[in-house]
Amino acid sequence: MQLDAFKTLGRSGLKVSPLCLGGMTLGDDWNWGADAATAAQLIQQYTDLGGNFIDTANIYTNGHSEKIIGDTIGRYSSKRNRTVIGTKCSANTLPGNPNAGGGSTQSILYNVHESLRRLQTDYIDLLWIHQWDWNTPFEETMRALHHLVTSGKVRYIGVSYAPAWKIAQAQTTALLKDWTPFIGLQIEYSLLERSIEDELIPMAAELGLGITPWSPLKGGILSGKYQPGNQTGDSRMGNAYQLSEKELNVVEKVKEIAQRHNATPAAIALAWVLQKQSTTSIILGVRTPAQLAQNIAALEVTLTQQEMNELDTISTPPPTFVTNYKEYSRSFVHGGIEINGLKAAPLPAFQQMTPGKY
């Protein structure tokens, strides 16, 4: 697989690369990203290799991320037309102003106007609702997004950081009212964060949302940089914590499989996410050209079904109510019968009826 092995995002015709260049590390305003010159180099390196999908947000590096993308891509029509730029709204860039953040019409239109200015373009390919605004009726949010699409300022819309039931409510309403629906779900997903598998992934599949996972290496933990004797991990926000025994076991399994493939642990962890049917494009957060090259190497890795199963098994999260009840329901409905390759456990004897007894 290569960066130009494009995929359609969700139930749409928008074609994107399997790896997306993340914009959270474009700009050093937060003291841990790439400076402007290096960021421009990363964008050039990514596009030279055939990548066409760049993700950012109005809040990333205080707006500098969008400005760098504008300086490198937006102002050049030949580059702009070949690049899918996704950005996000809802984060408040004017502290103290209640109408400068959230999902209101006022906030969305203001933030999109500012993003267009920084990106130096007259349209946004993919606009994401970054954080759900619980103080604004979802109908207002969806109506404002639809207006932006019909006006030509936005081409497609997506959503991040919202529960499955709220996304389903908004998506269904949009479809019923013939408003623009979401085509993408941006959410954290990795071997160490699989909680979305219970409800968000099935919801996305049913409602036509392609998934673009972020933090596929769980803040660098899955790159293998933390050794058993040094268990202090840190997130991209710099919050230190102790790695659990399970996290360390998952990392060791990733290292073991990496040796079989003569690849880096990061490439194996990324390949696992790539090979999940639900994944459309993985968002990469890199600060150097070397890191970008190492992550792109994941496209050359093909894990066997046995290796996928090994990683699935060792990283399985604790069951939730949904997980437990799904298995019980399968037994209740089709106990002992195989349906679509899955055989349900038989019901307990005391729940089994005797045909014709009553």
Catalytically annotated residues: 60
The alpha carbon of residue 357 and the mean position of all alpha carbons in its chain are separated, in whole angstroms, by 53
Rounded Cα distance between 139 and 169, Å, is 10
Helices (H), the chain: 36-48, 64-69, 77-80, 105-119, 138-151, 164-176, 200-207, 245-261, 265-274, 289-296, 305-315, 321-334
Q: Are strands 84-89 and 240-242 parallel, antiparallel or unpaired?
A: unpaired
Asked whether the beta carbons of 103 and 64 are under 8 A apart, the reply is no
Half-sphere exposure of 1 (CA within 13 A, CB side): 21
Among left, alpha and beta (phi > 0; psi -120 to 50; other), residue 178 is left
Provide φ and ψ at 195, rounded to 5°: -65, -20
Asked whether the beta carbons of 45 and 292 are under 8 A apart, the reply is yes
Tell me the two tokens of residue 3: 């960066």
Rounded Cα distance between 194 and 82, Å, is 33
